Amino acid sequence: MNITHDGLALIRRFEGFRAKAYLDAAGVWTIGYGHTSAAGAPHVRSGMKITRKEGERILGRDIAIFASGVQSLLARPLSESQFSALVSFAYNVGLENFRKSSVLRAVNAGDFAAVPRRLSLWVKCRGRVLSGLVRRRAAEAAMFIEAAPRAPRARYKVLVEDFGATIEPVPGKSLQRSSTGFAAVVSALAGAASSLAAGLGDLAGAVNGPVVALAAGVVIIAAALWIIRERRLKALEEGI
């Protein structure tokens, strides 16, 4: 498989070109279109400078290395657009991180609908969420999902909008997806609704006001509907 023109443009856009060596967000010496010594020659050092033409040649060699590395790890055929999205991801996080990632596991399991969510976990550097990584992961997910017509697009739209809130670059559930966390929220809400209803009921009895009693009923109904809605969303998200 080969990386597409759009895939190469995505990498160029997010890496940007730097003629002089610099320390990236992770503290690694970088030059050109995101080239580091980990990708091979040339070795990047402080004070190093290259031309844009040299940067293009280095990018071409790096892309060939990463494309070959990604292809060697795939257990099923993909479209070139899907493949290009994964090459961009691997180019950014490194082949070893790609090999260990839940992104690759989802792809090799054929669970293409889960790939955007898996990509969205990789938006942190040194414990901080970087807006550039959020945008890049969303662009890679868009490129991957558009090439997979069987993936549910409505669900994907929600996932992309969630990218800014998904901040853990490690496998596992976020708080909003955790059954334990969800149960705690529901219990707290139910308790609060019960207390509020009791308080409003006492107030209604004290002033004998039907309007206050009606308000108590509205609060209880609203709380119940919210709980039902959240349970349904959780069930849909986890495929229950």
- Looking at the structure, do residues 61 and 139 belong to the same domain, yes or no? yes
Contact call for residues 97 and 127 (beta carbons, < 8 A): no
**Domain extent at residue 210:** 177-237
- Out of 149, 172, 195, a domain closes at 172
Residue 109 maps to which CATH number? Answer: 1.10.530.40
Q: Average pLDDT over the chain, rounded to whole?
A: 76
- Looking at the structure, do residues 37 and 112 belong to the same domain, yes or no? yes
pTM for this model (two decimals): 0.61
Identify the residue with better confidence: 184 or 130. 130
- Looking at the structure, do residues 102 and 147 belong to the same domain, yes or no? yes
- Looking at the structure, do residues 29 and 87 belong to the same domain, yes or no? yes
- Looking at the structure, do residues 140 and 207 belong to the same domain, yes or no? no
- Out of 125, 155, 172, a domain closes at 172
How many structural domains does the chain have?
Answer: 2
pLDDT band at 174 (very low <50, low <70, confident <90, very high): very low
- Looking at the structure, do residues 91 and 182 belong to the same domain, yes or no? no
Annotation says 140 is catalytic: no
- Looking at the structure, do residues 76 and 158 belong to the same domain, yes or no? yes
pLDDT at 10: 97
> Is the pLDDT at 182 greater than 70, yes or no?
no
- Would you put residue 34 in left (φ > 0), alpha (ψ -120 to 50) or beta? left
- Looking at the structure, do residues 9 and 110 belong to the same domain, yes or no? yes
pLDDT at 26: 85
Contact call for residues 19 and 52 (beta carbons, < 8 A): yes
Lowest mean pLDDT of 44-48, 84-88, 163-167, name the range: 163-167
pLDDT at 133: 96
pLDDT band at 14 (very low <50, low <70, confident <90, very high): very high
- Looking at the structure, do residues 116 and 166 belong to the same domain, yes or no? yes
- Looking at the structure, do residues 30 and 142 belong to the same domain, yes or no? yes
Which is catalytic among the residues 15, 54, 56, 96?
Answer: 15
Identify the residue with better confidence: 63 or 154. 63
Give the separation between CA 155 and CA 80, rounded to whole angstroms: 23
- Looking at the structure, do residues 167 and 181 belong to the same domain, yes or no? no
H helix runs in 49-163, sequence order: 52-73, 80-93, 95-100, 102-108, 115-119, 131-146, 153-161
Identify the residue with better confidence: 33 or 223. 33
- Looking at the structure, do residues 74 and 156 belong to the same domain, yes or no? yes
